Structure 1
Amino acid sequence: MRTKRRLQAAALVAVAVVLGLFAVQGTYALWNAVASASPGTITSASFDTTLQAVNTGATTNMTLADGRTAATLTLSPAGVLGPGTSVYGGVVVTNNTNAGGQFNTAITAGPPSVANLNGGSLATYISVNAKVAASSADCSNAAGFAAISAAGLVSPTVAKGGSTVFCFQVSLSSSAPSSVNGQPLKGQAVTIQTTLTARQCGVPSGC
């Protein structure tokens, strides 16, 4: 019984580090289309896609102000993670463009990478699954999660002003030994990262 209590307490310490380092990055692809225009006033359009973390509400655009550098958003899955259990979080992705006409997008979540921080072997026992959902409330429902393939997880088409949700499930294997739990001073923590890509529909190589 003493060993079990030690494992549970250790998992809480290790996972506090894991959750603080679960991040998504965003990039844009093919933000252009060709159309004829009559002489007149030309105005610029903003092709923004907004990311909002489920649970914390933290927000950012997919790229920084220069329009080229990918932004990073830290996710904080809710729940207590221990051996054989999972915690859940996600990101709401909104097509926030003010471009005229139809401007639909599709979002792809790439396969997550799990890497040990400062050495250790905790990453071996961490798995990350995902699903596309209609609302952030769906992220707390354990049904429907699956591994993300090399091709990525693609959302349905997102219209201007519309949103889609990517939910993530972070799990710690029930076989995780005490040597990878409760040792934050020895580097037993991991970073988890995935990349989101927004693609414009209705243009060559689009959705």
Structure 2
Amino acid sequence: MRTKRRLQAAALTAVAVVLGLFTVQGTYALWSAAASASPGTITSASFDTALTAVNTGQTTTMTLADGSAATLTLSPAGTLGPGTSVYGGVVVTNNTNAGGQFNTAITAGQPTIANVSGGTLASYVSVNAKSAASSAECSTATGFASISTAGLVSPTVAKGGSTVFCFQVSLSTSAPSTVKGQAVNISLQLTARQLCGVPSGC
């Protein structure tokens, strides 16, 4: 019985580090089109997508002012132990100011779980995901699955609308006491893709 308690304490200590290192990054994929226009006023539009961490409310735009991809740290809620899971997520909002219809689709890529300083904890940690209509769904254990190589694609997100990606971080029951004090980095990439912006299609 003492051994089991010691193993659980070791796993909790190790995975506490994981929670602060779960990040998402974003990129854009755009359609482009050309059309002639009569002389007049020309205005530009921005393809602006906002990311908000579900549990902390931390926000950022998907791309920073210098054009680099933003990084948002997610903090799953709960205490992670062997055989249990914790949950977090990100709300992605289509904040473009482009005129007319401007729908997007967001794709969450496969997570990368990397050991820090040569540890072995990564092999005992798994991440599953689901898309959701509201952030409240991130605290329920149902509907999570592994992310395929094609990624997890959101439903269409209209201008001014949002979608949610929920994440489940789990620790295997077989995590040994040797992982105590080890850390991993968990990261995944979000891609915002512009869909055709005209009702009749491209």
* TM-score of the aligned structures, taking structure 1 as reference length: 0.92
What secondary structure is seen at the aligned counterpart in 1 of 2:123? helix
Q: Where in structure 2 are the equivalents of 1:148-159 lying within 5 Å?
A: 148-159=147-158
Q: How many residues align?
A: 199
Q: 2:11–2:175: 8 Å Cα contact kept in structure 1?
A: no
Gaps of 5+ in 1: none
Runs (5+) with no aligned partner, structure 2: none
- 1:96-119 deviation digits (Å, cap 9, x = unpaired): 011100000000000001010111
2-side partners of 1:56 and 1:149: how far apart?
27
RMSD: 1.5
Whole-angstrom CA distance in 1 between matches of 2:79 and 2:162 = 28
| 3-state SS in 2 of match to 1:33 | coil
Runs of 4+ in 1 over 2 A off after TM superposition: 31-38
Do 2:128 and 2:169's aligned partners in 1 also have CA atoms closer than 8 Å?
A: yes
**What is the CA-CA distance between 1:11 and the residue it aligns to?**
2.1
Name the SS for the 1:51 alignment partner. Answer: strand
Amino acid at match of 2:173: S
Residues 138-186 of structure 1: per-residue CA shift (max 9 Å, x gap): 0011111000010000000000000000000000011111111x2x2xx
Alpha-carbon shift at residue 31 of structure 1 (Å)? 5.3
Q: CA deviation digits over 1:18-69, x for unaligned, max 9? A: 0110000000111533333221101111210000001000000001102x31
- The secondary structure found in structure 2 opposite 1:116 is strand
Q: Among all aligned residue pairs of Structure 1 and Structure 2, give the percentage whose two residues are the same amino acid.
A: 82
* 1:138-157 mapped onto 2 (5 Å cutoff): 138-157=137-156
Residue 102 of structure 2 is matched in structure 1 by 103
CA–CA separation in structure 2 for the residues paired with 1:11 and 1:179 = 9
